[in-house]
Amino acid sequence: MSQNTVIALDVKDVSVAYGGGRLSLRQANLEVRGGSVCGLVGMNGAGKSTLFKTVMGFLPPLRGTVQVFGQPVIRAQKAGLIAYVPQSEDVDWNFPVSVREVVMMGRQGKMNWLRRPNAVDHTMVDESLERVGMNAFAERQIGELSGGQRKRAFLARALAQDGRLLLLDEPFGGVDVGTSEAIINLMGELRREGRAMLVSTHDLGTLETFCDEVALIADRTVLLYGPTAEVLTAENLAATFGGRSPLHAPAAKKLEARP
Amino acid sequence: MNLELLLEPLQYDFMTRALLVSALVGTVCAVLSCFVILKGWSLMGDAVSHAVLPGVVISYLLGLPFVIGAFAFGLLSVSAIGFIQSRSRVKEDTVIGVVFTALFALGLVMISKISSEVHLSHILFGDVLGIGDSELWQTVIAGAIALIVTLLLRKDLLLYVFDPTHARSIGLNTGVLNYVLLTMLALTIVTALQTVGVILVVAMLITPGATAYLLTDKFSKMLWIAVACGILSAVIGTYGSYFLDGATGACIVLVQSILFVLAFIFAPKHGQIARRRQQMAERADELGEGGPPTAPRPVLTRVRTSSKGQASD
Ligand SMILES: Nc1ncnc2c1ncn2[C@@H]1O[C@H](COP(=O)(O)OP(=O)(O)O)[C@@H](O)[C@H]1O
Ligand SMILES: [Mg+2]
């Protein structure tokens, strides 16, 4: 596959800080190839969300570079190559917009300067709503949705963007089993369409079902990345999760250890 | 019987002019108000409107159009607020309060120093019935610019107000959008100065939007409803003030407040009556009054787990 030779995301030696002196990401390196899915795994506070914000250009790197399909991030964003779904949406849920209008916002960067949607935009919005199973809720005001439905709505907006690289920060956070299965299926489809993805998650159990590669992140830097099977060893996970691997530690032992 | 009395104001040239100007002002303010209330900039609007006072006085002293001085001080106040806030730990509303009261006080001192020729009340409370040719044109031009720019950019401005993170992630320049919106806010305030005056401008900038927000869940409709409220109250207020012989700005604002109260009570979905009715209906459903008989509920008994510790972790 020729697509796999393209580098979708190239993070080189990146360090960032949130204003203060302490670095929140230390010399992180990561490569995601075109058409592949990379899982980003690490404990809370390891720096996953920070890495996403850095890739999006919200936090300017103090050192190092980020390139998306060989271009600077801003250029890639203007070209509509990247779609980003943050860990939690920081929006006013009483805002007078419907689900359909939110999804249409994913198309806005591609419209002419008057921002009038054309036939393609409408089709894309309908398809995206369909793919996340939110057709029936399209005309609802966004506050009138459950947590999982809100997550789906914003996922639909990212789909409508039709980006070549999708950045999903904890898409399984706070959703039920049904929704998380639906998201995994969706990621499979997107991968077959040749889109690259970077997906952070806590759920080690499902990693192997949808990831080509895994990056381990701990103590504010990327420890290691590579093919899923090679990376997910007991030893590596132990290093990531501070001493013991949540995947490999035998359950019986864990119980005995308790008083 | 009173038809003659009611039509009387329309015979006068100054009255038709006043009606047209206040309708325009009502329209521009209404459009901006939709963005202002969604962005949470009510206090910012209040601040900018007070901060323009020294600008008006300086324009008067230099013989410049009042619009220019007012607009300059509007932008100055916005920049000062942004500058201080980004460089100190003081919260935004505090900074806004400090800056605008300082500039307003400066304006008051200037007025008290320069003779009694300038009518304090005209600047503070507006005087659309006595609007001169020059002020009329300044108002129309400033208003037209604010209206056209805001409407042309409304989609991007709306996206910026709703979700700045997404706006940035699709490559929009949110810094520019922020300043465009602030500039349009200042320009709109300048437009409304001659009609309602410094002190009450902020009502024009929030009340129509707030009323519309109670009446709909769609932004496009919200814009139209706000504009309708803006024009209606401008016309009724101006008309009414003819009989009161003054206080036009206050009359307009009063009509707007009445419209807001009506929406607060009677709005079809978010009004008090509708909310109460919906609560009652839901409660009735839950309590099963008149509803279909509920299926017998499965009885759950406590299950003892054989291997303890399974449920932990
Ligand atoms: N807004 C912020 N300001 C300052 N420090 C932050 C901020 N957000 C995160 N951090 C710090 O950056 C580090 C990484 O956090 P984050 O990327 O959110 O972790 P994760 O997403 O992996 O749970 C943490 O040490 C956290 O304290
Ligand atoms: Mg996070």
**pLDDT tens digits for A217-247?**
999 999 999 999 999 888 888 888 887 777 7
- What is the average pLDDT across A128-145? 96
Note the pLDDT tens digit of each residue in B190-201. Answer: 999 989 999 999
Domain boundary among A162, A188, A220: A162
Instruction: With a cut of 50, say whether residue A108 has pLDDT above it.
Output: yes
Closest CA to B46 of B145, B156, B192, B165: B192
CATH for A54: 3.40.50.300
Residue at B98 is within a domain: yes
- Is 90 exceeded by the pLDDT of residue B207? yes
Mean pLDDT (whole number) for A196-210: 90
Residues A47, A95 share a domain: no
Residue percentage of chain B with pLDDT more than 90: 72
Using an 8 Å Cβ cutoff, are B31 and B25 in contact?
A: no
Q: How far is B22 from chain A (nearest CA, A)?
A: 28
Closest residue to B217, CB basis, from A74, A91, A141: A141
Instruction: Examine the domain organization and report whether A243 and A173 are in the same domain.
Output: yes
Look at B120 and B85; give whichever has higher pLDDT.
B85
Q: Please spell the DSSP secondary structure of A78-108, one letter per residue.
A: HTT-EEEE-SS--S-TTSS-BHHHHHHTTTG
**Cβ separation of B169 and A78 shorter than 8 Å?**
no
| A135 and A32 housed in the same domain | no
For residue range B258-306, what is the model confidence (pLDDT) as tens digits? 999 999 999 999 999 999 999 999 888 878 755 555 566 666 667 665 5
Q: Quickly state the pLDDT bin for B118 (edges 50, 70, 90).
A: low
Residue A138 lies in a domain: yes
Q: Is residue A256 part of a domain?
A: no
Question: Rounded to an integer, what distance in angstroms lies between the CA atom of residue A66 and that of residue A55?
Answer: 6
Residues A190 and A239 in one domain: yes
- CA-derived radius of gyration, chain A: 19
A188 interfaces chain B, CB cutoff of 8 Å: no
- Per-residue burial over B131-165, b if 16 or more Cβ lie within 10 Å, else e, is beeebbebbeebbebbbebbeebbbbbbbbbbbbe
Do the chains contact at A58 and B222, CB–CB below 8 Å? Answer: no
Does A89 lie at the interface with B, CB-CB under 8 angstroms?
Answer: yes
- Given A133, A162, A191, the domain boundary residue is A162
Is residue B121 in some structural domain? yes
Q: Is the pLDDT of residue B210 over 70?
A: yes
What local confidence, expressed as pLDDT, does residue B114 receive?
A: 80
Residues A124, A234 within the same domain: no
Q: How deeply is B89 buried, as exposed, middle or buried, from its count of CB atoms within 10 A (0-12, 13-18, 19+)?
A: exposed
Q: pLDDT-based confidence at A40, cuts 50/70/90?
A: very high
Domain that residue B119 falls in: 11-201
Q: Is residue A253 part of a domain?
A: no
Pairing of strands A63-68, A7-17: antiparallel
- pLDDT: which is higher, A130 or A206: A130
Eight-state DSSP code of residue B302: P
- The yes-or-no verdict on residue B113 having pLDDT over 90 is no
Strand bridging mode A23-33 / A7-17: antiparallel
Give the model's pLDDT for residue A3.
47
- Domain assignment of residue B220, yes or no: no
Segment B105-112 mean pLDDT: 91
Evaluate if residue B25 carries a pLDDT over 60.
yes
Query: Looking at beta carbons, which residues of chain A come within 8 Å of B218?
Result: 96-98
In the stretch 48-87 of chain A, residues with CB closer than 8 A to chain B read: 56-58, 74, 77-80, 82-84, 86
Domain identity same for A74 and A178? yes
Residue A252 within a domain: no
Q: Is B274 a member of any domain?
A: no
Contact predicate A24/A18, CB 8 Å: yes
- A25 shares its domain with A44: yes
pLDDT of residue A70: 95
Q: Which atom of ligand 1 is nearest to the CA of A50?
A: 17
Comparing CB atoms, the residue among B38, B169, B216 nearest residue A77 is B169
Q: How far apart are CA A113 and CA A91, in angstroms?
A: 25
Find out whether A191 and A35 touch, Cβ atoms under 8 Å.
Answer: yes
Q: Three-state DSSP class for B289?
A: coil
Strand bridging mode A23-33 / A165-169: unpaired
Domain membership flag for residue B313: no
CA distances from B144 to B87, B295, B312 (A): 35, 63, 67
Let me know whether A119 and A14 are in one domain: no
pLDDT surpassing 50 at residue A255 = no
Q: Which domain holds residue A196?
A: 1-79+165-247
Q: Which of A144, A162, A180 is the last residue of a domain?
A: A162
Round the average pLDDT of chain A to a whole number and report it: 91
pLDDT confidence of residue A20: 75
* Mean predicted confidence (pLDDT) in A23-43: 94
Give the residue with greater pLDDT, B106 vs A1.
B106
Least confident among A101-110, A171-180, B2-11, B30-39:
B2-11
Q: How confident is the model at residue A51 (pLDDT cuts 50, 70, 90)?
A: very high
Ligand 1 in contact with A47 (CB < 6 A)?
yes
Residue-wise pLDDT tens digits, B138-164? 999 999 999 999 999 999 999 999 999
Asked whether residue A65 falls in the same domain as residue A189, the answer is yes
Residue A259 inside a domain? The answer is no
The count of domains in chain B is 1
A106 lines ligand 1 (CB under 6 A): no
Calculate how far, in angstroms, residue B111's C-alpha sits from the geometric centre of ligand 1: 52
Say whether the ipTM exceeds 0.85.
yes
CA-based nearest residue to A170, from A46, A35, A8: A46
Residues of chain B contacting residue A168, judged by C-beta atoms under 8 Å apart: none
User: Looking at residues A86-90, what average pLDDT do you find?
Assistant: 93
Q: Is residue B286 part of a domain?
A: no
Q: Are residues A205 and A178 in the same domain?
A: yes
Q: Are A53 and A174 found together in one domain?
A: yes
Section B84-106 average pLDDT = 94
Q: What local confidence, expressed as pLDDT, does residue B127 receive? A: 87
Which range is most confident: A17-31, B101-115, B223-237? B223-237
Half-sphere exposure of B282 (CA within 13 A, CB side): 6
Q: Which residue has the higher pLDDT, B119 or B108?
A: B108
Number of domains in chain A: 2
C-alpha closest to that of A45 among A252, A162, A200, A193: A200
Over 60: is that where the pLDDT of B74 sits?
yes
Q: Report if residue A242 sits inside a domain.
A: yes
CATH number at residue B182: 1.10.3470.10
Residue A124 vs residue B299, higher pLDDT: A124
Residue A169 and residue A193 in one domain: yes
Residue A95 phi/psi, 5-degree rounding, is -60, 140
Residue B6 has pLDDT above 90, yes or no: no
Mean pLDDT, residues B216-229 taken together:
97
